[in-house]
Amino acid sequence: MRSIGLLALTVSLSEFAFAYNHGHRDIYHDHSVNLRKRNIRYDGQIEDSYDFVIVGGGTAGLAIAARLTEDSNTTVLVLEAGDTGDAVADRINTPVMAYYSGLPGTSYDWAYTTVTQPNAGGRNLPWPRGKVLGGSSAMNGMYHIRPSKLEVDAWSSLIGSDKWKWDSMFETMKESETFTPPSSDIQAEAGIQFVASSRGTNGPVHATYPGFTLPVVGNWTQTLGNIGVAVNDDAYNGDTYGAFIATSSINPSNWTRSYARSAYIDSLPLRANLAILPNATVTRIIFDSSNSNNLTATGVEWAAYSGAAKQTVSVKKEVILAGGAVGSPHVLMLSGVGPKDVLQAAGVAVQVDLPGVGQHLQDHISTAVTFKTTTDTAASLHAAGQNSPAFLSFINSATAYVNITDLLGDFAPDFKTQVASQLSTSLVPSTDATVVKGYETIYNTTLNTFLTSPVGQVEILLALTNSGTDSNVLQIQAALQHPFSQGRVYITSNDPFAQPAIDPQYLSHNADTVILREGLKLARKIAGTAPLSAVIGDEVTPGPSVSTDDDWDSWLAKNIGTEFHPSCSCAMLPLEQGGVVDENLKVYGLGNVRVADASVFPVSFAAHLQAPTYGLAEQAAKIIRATYNGVGWPSASGNSTSTSTSSSSSASPTQNRQEDHNGALSLSSSSALALAAAGFLGSLLL
């Protein structure tokens, strides 16, 4: 959210430092935990070759690594550019830190900036992305929200594959999580509604509600209901629209952030077949170019830092790119796989001219209306010194995905007609015919399947964590979910340590301005509606001087920023539509390279991206294990069937699963109890 102060290091830091120095037992320096037994290679030692090399130890990469190494005969190396995060464990683990002193702006942030955005006030906008084990799941706002069935099924039909239908993603998103209901007090105070059967029961990532809430949160759904927005009592079952209190990726046993590392890796015992190497920036994939129509990756090159000696590791089966919407297309282009003109201009030898790499980039943009408030906010209580573990788990969770009639009323059909007439290939940042076709395909899906459907066009969020000078304010944020503007990521240098150029082409299509403006007007209307209105004071920003549509349009252009949800830059589309990967996540033209992260979604979802990214990662692991190890492919009914797409594969579905599968990856409540018994929980957060 925009309210995460990118540069905000507040007074609270010293407060926390004090707290942690006086009683926090640091597990990473605890002699009872033998670091050598962990799968993270603190000593830098790795083998010469692995079956799979995963590029990026982030949200998707660590999930895939954990699942693939359930097969004891499969070896996996994860190369992560960032450090372990151990030195900032408290800032990662304590949920509230995401707002007051998280990782954005530190060395654990890639800290990208966009190229100048002419339609967004001529600004170069910050794009934080996690550069640490766990990736952006280590520094995000922890919203755990799923896309809608309509959106996932649209993706599935764009690629013509059941593997990406809602039914499949619903299963894998459930497999990735363990849901814990709120206490009855929290449920009543925050007005939480949920249906437990829509949620996972045994997965690595914890999804629950913070251990502390505020009466104003309990005003949320009722206020939205009073202006005609549907209130959703089951937002995790394929209908992610209307107003609800979202779950967050928090472990309720000790109120810590549940992210890719803590969920999928730290819970594992030593696996001799898994190595995770931090501080390893991948500089390129190495190919055997003897078959130029089907290049085979034979290794991966990396370096510890710019100027350090390049090192290589051999790959026996596949390279799996999981660097995210910026990192994955960046590595492909550095390796000579991408648009020929871009590669040549940057001085990279072309291996495969693949015009779609980096194209079709989409992002959610957001900004907020800020009000004085007379009620307690998390920020005001925080400033007043509240610091119980439950309080420190408070993060924002009141949300609403509002549809086009919520925004435009009776004008919605006319608006759709207008947008239909505004399909213009002059807005495509490529002249390649396949990329243009992909742009049109995505545009037409956004228009015909999403725009006048029940799915959200704008996400509206209540932010109670303003970390600026005045903590007695609250914000109602609005974020565009289905942009008509598409941009691109491209390289301008063959130096792997130079940032790629990021051009989301924000607001290049005028429909985005109209939809977001109407979302901001709705935010103002929400503040004026009971019961919320009872605690709302003067509007601080933008204030009464902004009232006409023109006022809003020029104000929002100068104030929007990323909602931190870039996707679609290695889109899963047919090759003739500028696609980068096929239904099995394999890069066109390469024999043994896949991309498995949010860059492959071909359309922007009305959702925060971590939950669908975990679902995608779980599905990627199933595809890969079915290909090589005869581990069963689940049928649509959820039953396991043995597949043999590889000639060498003849094992029974479960024969080669490692013993530690269930115990290791699910939350072991006995270990939580053991920690509590040792007084660990009590000392952790105070």
Ligand X SMILES: *[C@@H]1O[C@H](CO)[C@@H](O)[C@H](O)[C@H]1NC(C)=O
- What gap in Å lies between CA 260 and CA 263, rounded to an integer? 5
Write the DSSP symbol of residue 117: B
The yes or no reply on residue 589 touching ligand X (CB under 6 A) is: no
Minimal CA–CA distance to 74: which of 63, 86, 66? 66
Residues 199 and 236 sit within 8 Å (Cβ to Cβ)? yes
Is 204 an interacting residue with respect to ligand X (CB under 6 A)? no
Q: Is 42 in the site for ligand X (CB under 6 A)?
A: yes
Minimum distance of ligand X from residue 672's CB (angstroms): 4
Does 222 contact ligand X by CB under 6 A? yes
Contact between residue 54 and residue 320 where contact means Cβ atoms under 8 Å apart:
yes
**Residue list 493-532, contact with ligand X (CB under 6 A):** 531
CA distance 638 to 168: 9
364 noted as active-site residue: no
Distances (CA, A) of 308 to 45, 106, 496: 17, 22, 12
Phi-psi region of 603 (alpha: psi -120 to 50; beta: other; left: phi over 0): beta
Binding of ligand X at residue 634 (CB under 6 A)?
Answer: no
Q: By C-beta, is 14 or 655 nearer to ligand X?
A: 655
Site for ligand X contains 630 (CB under 6 A): yes
Helix (H) / strand (E) element for 170: namely helix 166-175
What angle, rounded to 10 degrees, do the helices at 149-159 and 433-445 form?
150
Element (H, E) at 303: strand 296-303
Catalytic residue among 206, 482, 509, 565: 565
By the 8 A CB rule, do 46 and 54 touch?
no
Phi and psi at 566, nearest 5°, equal -70, 140
Neighbours of 89 (CB within 10 A): 19
3-class DSSP state of 644: coil
- Does 627 contact ligand X by CB under 6 A? no
Say which of 360, 364, 482, 608 is annotated catalytic: 608
Stretch that binds ligand X, among 143-151, 337-345, 381-389, 438-446 (CB under 6 A): 438-446
Query: Phi then psi for 323, rounded to 5 degrees?
Result: -95, 0
The burial of 312, by beta-carbon neighbours within 10 Å (0-12 exposed, 13-18 middle, 19 or more buried), is given as middle
E strand or H helix that includes residue 671: helix 669-677
The verdict on whether residue 282 carries a ligand-binding annotation is yes
Q: Which of 6, 9, 260 is nearest to 112 (CA)?
A: 6
User: Per CB under 6 A, which region of 322-330, 500-508, 553-561, 664-672 contacts ligand X?
Assistant: 664-672
Task: Kindly indicate which of the ranges 228-236, 543-551, 603-611, 657-665 contains the residues binding ligand X, using the contact rule CB under 6 A.
Answer: 228-236
> Which of 64, 61, 40, 41 has its CA nearest to residue 130?
61
Does 70 engage in binding with ligand X (CB under 6 A)?
Answer: no
Should residue 559 be labelled a site residue for ligand X when binding is judged by CB under 6 A?
A: no
Q: Does 405 bind ligand X (CB under 6 A)?
A: yes
List the one residue from 30, 33, 47, 73 that touches ligand X (CB under 6 A): 73
Question: Using the rule CB under 6 A, is 400 a contact of ligand X?
Answer: no
Under the criterion CB under 6 A, does residue 279 sit at the interface with ligand X? yes
29 noted as active-site residue: no
254 in contact with ligand X (CB under 6 A) = yes
Instruction: Name which of residues 337 to 396 contact ligand X (CB under 6 A).
Output: 375
Dist. CA 608–CA 310, nearest whole Å: 36
On whether 33 is known to bind a ligand per the annotation, the reply is: no
Q: Please state, in angstroms and rounded to a whole number, the distance separating the CA atoms of residues 143 and 138.
A: 12
Residue 6 or 636 with smaller CB distance to ligand X: 636
- Kindly indicate which of the ranges 145-153, 456-464, 567-575, 628-636 contains the residues binding ligand X, using the contact rule CB under 6 A: 628-636
The only residue of 404, 478, 596, 626 in contact with ligand X, by rule CB under 6 A:
404
Stretch that binds ligand X, among 134-142, 163-171, 501-509, 647-655 (CB under 6 A): 647-655
For residues 420 and 344, is the Cβ–Cβ distance under 8 A?
Answer: no
**Candidate ranges 146-154, 169-177, 251-259, 594-602; the one touching ligand X (CB under 6 A):** 251-259
| CB of residue 228 to ligand X, shortest distance in Å | 6
Smallest Cα–Cα separation from 173: which of 471, 559, 607? Answer: 607
Judged by CB under 6 A, does residue 535 bind ligand X? Answer: yes
Q: Is 533 in the site for ligand X (CB under 6 A)?
A: no
656 belongs to the binding site for ligand X (CB under 6 A):
yes
Number of residues that bind ligand X (CB under 6 A): 59
Q: Which residue is nearest to ligand X (CB)?
A: 591
Supply 471's token pair.
């903590």
Radius of gyration (C-alpha) of the chain in whole angstroms = 24
- Write out the residues near ligand X by the rule CB under 6 A: 27, 42, 51, 73-74, 83-84, 93, 215-216, 218-219, 222, 228-230, 242, 251, 253-254, 256, 262, 266-267, 278-279, 294, 296, 375, 403-406, 423, 437, 440-441, 444, 452, 454, 531, 535, 591-592, 628-630, 637, 639, 648-651, 655-656, 667, 671-672, 684
List active site positions. 565, 608
Annotated binding site for FAD: 132, 282
Which residues define the annotated binding site? 132, 282
